[in-house]
């Protein structure tokens, strides 16, 4: 009787119900797990684009601070600034600049100042990409970041670093040489030289990115710099007609012209008729300062765009 009563209670129904409940719970867990997996797969892998730019910028600043702010770099810059200040001591004062000799001395100082700062930054920029060629190619092959992130990171890192030496050298020479004693003239001179330095630095980056070979980049940069410097209007005024177009492609021409406009316009005596040597002080190519600054900024943008194109072509992963 006890056995028949146990069979009549149908205990297997309870086990079947429990098994069905367990299966439904497992199905729900599997469904939730698959949804979570799909959401995780939908999320982007790696750091965001802005994070990549920030990391590259910080890394570049840490790397370049020892090179740009080394004892040798700062020592050379300060030595040249103090030496120029002593040699051109108060040459820009009114009584000195009122003569043709004094005005010529100031013009020579302006040309040297623009050349020293721009060439210094240009040659230091040439080493940027050739020295990082191996690391750049490895990171591009691993798809760590796009070329644009590396380009913008390096650009942002160079702004505060490349401003230090032009600002300090210009300020020291400006005060010691006694150039035009107005705040506006000082700021315009500083802005012109900073834009010129960044343009020259962009040209150096373009050469380094296009060549990616240190020795070859140095040779190419020397040829380009001499080609841009000689027809800039300081060494020679009567350039052969078939070579005169080079002066319009030289950033040095517009920098020197802008500095003469700021410092010498209306302050130098009139040139005697027939004196071709005095044509150096005859003024600017334009009646305002805007065209020179605009052309320098245009060159800066074109050179930077060339750097980006060269990087995409040279650092293409194999």
Per residue in 276-295, pLDDT (tens digit) is 556 666 556 777 788 889 99
pTM of the model: 0.76
pLDDT at 198 > cutoff 80 = yes
Mean pLDDT value of segment 26-54: 59
What percentage of the chain reaches a pLDDT higher than 90?
9
**Angle at 71 (CA atoms; ends 69, 76), nearest 5 degrees:** 95
pLDDT at 194: 92
d(CA 291, CA 304): 20
Q: Say which range, 7-11, 41-45, 126-130, 314-318, has the weakest mean pLDDT.
A: 41-45
d(CA 253, CA 257): 6
Instruction: Yes or no: say if 113 and 84 are a contact pair by the CB < 8 Å rule.
Output: yes
Query: Please, what is the average pLDDT of the chain?
Result: 76
Q: What are phi and psi of 177, to 5 degrees?
A: -80, -10
297: confidence class by pLDDT, cuts 50, 70, 90: very high
**Residues 49-99: tens digit of each pLDDT:** 778 778 777 877 777 766 666 777 788 888 989 998 999 888 888 777 777
* Distance between CA atoms of residues 109 and 92, nearest Å: 10
Per-residue pLDDT reduced to its tens digit, 232-280: 777 777 777 888 788 888 898 899 888 888 888 777 767 666 665 566 6
Q: Look at residue 138 and tell me whether its pLDDT is greater than 60.
A: yes
């Amino acid at each position: 009787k006890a056995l028949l009563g146990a069979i009549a209670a149908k205990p297997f129904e309870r086990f079947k119900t429990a098994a069905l409940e367990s299966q439904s719970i497992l199905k729900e867990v599997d469904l939730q797990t698959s949804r979570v997996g799909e959401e995780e797969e939908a999320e982007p892998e790696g750091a965001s684009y802005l994070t990549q730019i920030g990391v590259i910028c910080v890394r570049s600043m840490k790397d370049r601070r020892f090179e740009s702010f080394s004892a040798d770099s700062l020592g050379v810059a300060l030595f040249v600034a103090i030496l120029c200040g002593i040699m051109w001591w108060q040459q820009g004062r009114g009584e000195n600049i009122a003569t043709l000799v004094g005005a010529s001395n100031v013009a020579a100082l302006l040309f040297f100042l623009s050349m020293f700062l721009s060439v210094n930054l240009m040659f230091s920029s040439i080493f940027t990409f050739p020295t990082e060629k191996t690391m750049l190619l490895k990171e591009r092959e691993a798809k760590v970041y796009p070329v644009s992130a590396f380009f913008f990171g390096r650009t942002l890192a160079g702004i505060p670093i490349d401003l230090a030496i032009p600002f300090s050298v210009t300020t020291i020479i400006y005060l010691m040489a006694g150039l035009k004693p107005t705040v506006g003239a000082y700021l315009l001179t500083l802005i012109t030289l900073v834009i010129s330095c960044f343009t020259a630095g962009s040209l150096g980056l373009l050469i380094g990115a296009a060549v990616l070979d240190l020795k070859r980049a140095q040779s190419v940069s020397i040829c380009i710099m001499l080609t841009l410097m000689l027809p800039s209007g300081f060494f020679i005024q009567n350039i052969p007609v078939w070579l005169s177009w080079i002066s319009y492609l030289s950033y040095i021409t517009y920098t020197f012209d802008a500095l003469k406009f700021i410092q010498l316009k209306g302050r130098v005596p009139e040139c005697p008729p027939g004196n071709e040597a005095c044509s150096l002080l005859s003024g600017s190519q334009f009646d305002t300062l805007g065209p020179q600054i605009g052309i320098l900024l245009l060159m800066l943008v074109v050179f930077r765009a060339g750097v980006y194109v060269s990087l995409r072509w040279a650092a293409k992963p194999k």
